[in-house]
Structure 1
Amino acid sequence: MMKGFGSFLEQLRGSRSLREAAKLSGLSHAYIRDLELEKNRSTNERIIPSPDTLKKLSAAYNYPYKDLMTMAGHLYQEQDTEQQVDFTEVLYAKIMTDHVQFHLGSPGQQFNMHCDLPRFHELLKEFEAHSFKRLDTELFVNIGRIRAVDWKAGTVHFEPNISLRVSPLRLNKHQSLILRSIAEHNGTTLEYNVDKKNGLKSAIQSIFTPSD
């Protein structure tokens, strides 16, 4: 299920009260709130809405059922292995057992590419050519699309409401590259200072105004 899917459902509900949404969908207002919080408040267990529940919410909120199914993880957009991928639009890719899952620049927008071993090796070369870095065991992230980083928590932020938890160790390994990319996007430069206490080099962003 897409991270933040519960918050997305709450946004779809909009100004409607929980009881109004319950009347429209035929679901209980308590269950709708559980879905928005992504957990059963009685047991504290994570919940994923069923296809039947999503169909009711789709009708109630007038939102495409297929899109909700995709965001909830019940359905995946498929892409032919021969079709070209626009890597500049990909935020990150997950390597699965028999396919690669590409996540794009909108919440829940993704597609799968089934590929054999030769095609997989070709993808690895394309990842490298397009500045993707391996930030977890089977996770490749487009460094150029990162807009902010929580180094301590190991979280990278892309577009608004799109973030991803990664391995802090591998994240720090590419710290300089990531900071340069963020600086370039924000129109800033980097200055490097030495931490006298730890003897470690730290990168500090400073505002840079290009000369006319």
Structure 2
Amino acid sequence: MLFSLFLLAIGLVYSIRIPAVQTWIVQRVTAYLSDELKAKVTIDAIHIEFIKTLSIKGIYIEDQHKDTLLYAAEINTSIEMFAPGQQKIYLSGIILNEGIVKIQKYPNEKGLNFKFIVDYFDSGKKDSTASKPFDFNPGEIALTNMQFVYRDNRYNDYFKGVDFEDIRLLNLNATIQDFKLDEDTVFASIENISFTEKSGFEIEYLNHLQNSLL
């Protein structure tokens, strides 16, 4: 009996590595997330190694105004703890390659455009008795050749040079640690930063930056 269970476990592990099974997982995951978040989520492919190691290809997430919130050609991560019952997900780190993150504020709305995701995990949607906020720790986040956009759509004035209400960082490379969300504020410690802002302002290398970002 134990040997049969062992073989079944091995079979499940290897079945997850079969492309057809991974495609099925992608379809189910994106349909579920799109329905739950009420926002479009698509993924081209997921490659799973040893259950906890994930490589996600072509992930796209819209905000609730149907604009891009996140696109990445590739995201790699490993799961340290996955305990939805305890409202905990810990990752060993995330690597984002070739993509864009767009953080926006919209008129007559509180918070930033990812607030609906934070609210979903903190709302106790599946368990109305839950009182603890969702504990998500992404670990170290590495950005490689990314774009970062911050836009405050409540204002439409033109500003020559770096416009802090309409920022676009190109060719962004950085390492992010101690990433935390507190309602509409992002806290992080950022190291090894390089980018070019759309105004032409360029940072070739900045060793360390620690503050609330938005």
TM over 0.5: no
The structure with the largest strand share of the pair is 2
**Which protein is richer in helix relative to its size?**
1
**Normalised by the shorter chain, which TM-score bucket?**
under 0.3
> What is the TM-score when the length of structure 1 is the normalising length?
0.26
